[in-house]
Amino acid sequence: MKNVQWKLLMVLVLAVIAGYGIWPPKERIRLGLDLKGGIHLVAEVKIDEALAGYTDRFIEVLRKELQDKQIPFQNILRKTNTSFVVSGIAPDKQENLKKILENHGEWDLTLTGNEGLAALRQAVINAKAEEAVNLAIRIIRERVNRFGVAESVVQRQGLTGGRMIIQLPGVEDTERVKDLIKNTARLELRLVTAGPAPSAEALGPIPEGSEALTHSEVQQDGRSVTNYYAVQKQAIVSGEELQAANRTTDQYGRPAVNFTLTSSAGSKFGDFTEANRGKALAIVLDNKVQSAPTIQDKITTDGIITGQFTIEESNDLAVMLQSGALPAGIRFLEQRVVGPSLGLDSIRKGMLACAIGGGIIVLFMLLYYKFSGVNAVTALILNMLFLMALMSYFEATLTLPGIAGIVLSIGMAVDANVLIFERIKEDLRLGKTARSALQSGFAKAFWPIFDSNLTTIIAAVFLYWFGTGPVKGFAVTLIIGICCSMFTAIFVSRLLFDWLLSRRRKVESISI
């Protein structure tokens, strides 16, 4: 009899721990986006773009190296994302080209006539792609964190490929957040060689090593005007050399972003500005000219980006610059935006339905099984308590399909109690004593309960493995729910009976 009391104490302690674990429920139970409202995005890093960018940068490096070593060639052109062709290279100089590429160790060269085709090695491609994806995820995570979203999730989907899942509960500014995530935010300070001009043609011939970029501005009367600048391709300083970026205001009190360069970039920039006084400097963001002020004086580490920003835009730009530029663009493959009122409605109605449904179950059990029904209802309540506590412990999110999982596990918990009680009843009818009917009822009902619960768990495990999103959420709550219901329906319910019997010496009947 002592034994029973100890077990009872253990269950009580577990219940208290569980209760403590989910208190206060508003904070401890993580609601999914379908219940809370928010944004769910599946984004893909444009790996091709990152590789093309890598090839492009290498071409510039190679061009410079060939020029430095005075190896004559006609042109270097990128052929695919990961290959390029060096044309017009004399047969006697081809060995030199080969040697240069070998030194870099990433390219395979095929020579035909006076052309050389260089292709990036597969292992390098894989490594670069991996690097780009990891970098993009890190940067996006940082941007989202700096933006200040609680419980946000940014994680890779699958082990390969460029996909990531981004979940932002409670966020309503969809467009703003998407821009924050999507924008590459590559900042460059480049020298203006010509412009501004109203059209690209009006710039005249663009000098070697320069390109035409646009600058758009909304004028006082609300019309949008686009101007063209010829800007050097080679950046003097780029975003990687930033130390800090912050929201600020310009001399007219309009929102702007100021930045601080690292000290080495600062001294480089200082030398450059000193030598180029009176020329225009373009502040280029994602290949668009933000502004093109004239260099008045030597500038070292501090600069300001002006433009027509709102306070939020200047804030977001600072966040993006601070987190770094994305290695490639982002494409959104899936987007779900749930408004807060829909989530609220779902919760309210779901709660109402659960309350009515739960009430009906409780009523049924009490009417049908009388006092034993109390026992079953206690087990059910404990079941819910343990389920919620475990969900909060594993930080599982509660979604609508998750609620489905809970409904099923409650159904199975009810079934377990019914199975046991029906067996007990049958044995009582056969004339067994209360004690032995309880004993045999629980023993006989154990296997069918075990079988049906285990098969369901097996199915749920497979669903968890292969499923995505909602299906996974369903599987998690189902597995946890069934484990809890096995414990409460078999162990706790039995314990309650034993405890009741232990308090009375002679037991003629049980109320069932």
Partner 1 sequence: MEIFHDTKIDFLKYRTPAMLVSLVIILAGVFMIWKNGIRYGVDFSGGTAIHLKFRTVVPLDSIRNTLKGNGFPDSGVQAFNDPTQVMVRLPQTRVTEEETEELAERVATLLSANALKTLAPQGKRDLNSATPNDINGYLQLKDPWKVGDPAKYKGEVTKIRQMRDANAGLLPSFEQMRGIDAKVLASLKESFYVGDLAILSNEYVGPQVGAELREQAKLAIAWSLAGLLIYVWFRFEFLWGLSAIACLAHDVLITLAFFAFSGREISLTVVAAFLTIVGFSLNDTIVIYDRVRDNLKSMRTQPLENVINLSLNQMLNRTILTNGTVTIVTIVLFLFGGEVINDFAFAMLVGCISGTYSTVYIASAIIVLYNRYFGKKRMATVKAKAAKV
Q: Which is nearer to partner 1, 1 or 367 (CB)?
A: 367
Provide the 8-state DSSP code for 206: P
Q: Which is nearer to partner 1, 179 or 211 (CB)?
A: 179
Q: How far is the CB of 163 from partner 1 (least distance, A)?
A: 9
Could you tell me if 200 and 146 are in contact, meaning their C-beta atoms sit under 8 angstroms apart? no
Report helix, strand or coil for 139. Answer: helix
Q: How far is the CB of 447 from partner 1 (least distance, A)?
A: 6
Contacts to partner 1 from residues 225-244, by CB under 8 A:
none
Is residue 90 near partner 1 by the rule CB under 8 A? no
Helix-helix angle 434-466:400-429, to 10 degrees: 160
Q: Across 102-253, where does the E strand assignment appear? A: 107-112, 115-120, 153-156, 163-169, 187-197, 210-218, 224-232, 237-238, 242-249
Contact segment (CB under 8 A) with partner 1 among 15-23, 124-132, 167-175, 262-270 equals: 167-175
Q: How far is the CB of 327 from partner 1 (least distance, A)?
A: 19
Measured from the Cβ of residue 86, the count of other Cβ atoms closer than 10 Å reads: 25
What's the rounded Cα separation, in Å, for the pair 361 and 365? Answer: 6
The order of strands in the sheet holding 255-261 is 242-249, 255-261, 302-305
One character per residue 23-42, x = contact with partner 1 (rule: CB under 8 A): -----------x-------x
Q: Look-up: residue for tokens 């950046």?
A: 235
Is residue 312 near partner 1 by the rule CB under 8 A? yes
Q: Which is nearer to partner 1, 10 or 344 (CB)?
A: 344
Contacts to partner 1 from residues 466-505, by CB under 8 A:
466-471, 473-474, 478
Q: How far is the CB of 379 from partner 1 (least distance, A)?
A: 15
Q: Which is nearer to partner 1, 11 or 416 (CB)?
A: 416
What's the rounded Cα separation, in Å, for the pair 486 and 440? Answer: 18
Is residue 175 near partner 1 by the rule CB under 8 A? yes
> Exactly one of 48, 173, 250, 286 binds partner 1 (CB under 8 A); which one?
173
Contacts to partner 1 from residues 429-448, by CB under 8 A:
444, 447-448
Bridge partners of 240?
A: none
Contacts to partner 1 from residues 335-394, by CB under 8 A:
335-342, 344-346, 348-350, 352-353, 356-357, 360-361, 364, 367-370
Could you tell me how many residues of this chain bind partner 1 (CB under 8 A)?
79
Contacts to partner 1 from residues 62-81, by CB under 8 A:
none
What residue type is 402 in one-letter code? G
Q: List C-alpha distances in Å: 49 to 41, 119, 128, 242.
A: 20, 16, 11, 23
Is the dihedral angle over the CA atoms 103, 106, 111, 115 positive or is it negative?
A: negative
Q: Which is nearer to partner 1, 151 or 415 (CB)?
A: 415
Q: How far is the CB of 354 from partner 1 (least distance, A)?
A: 8
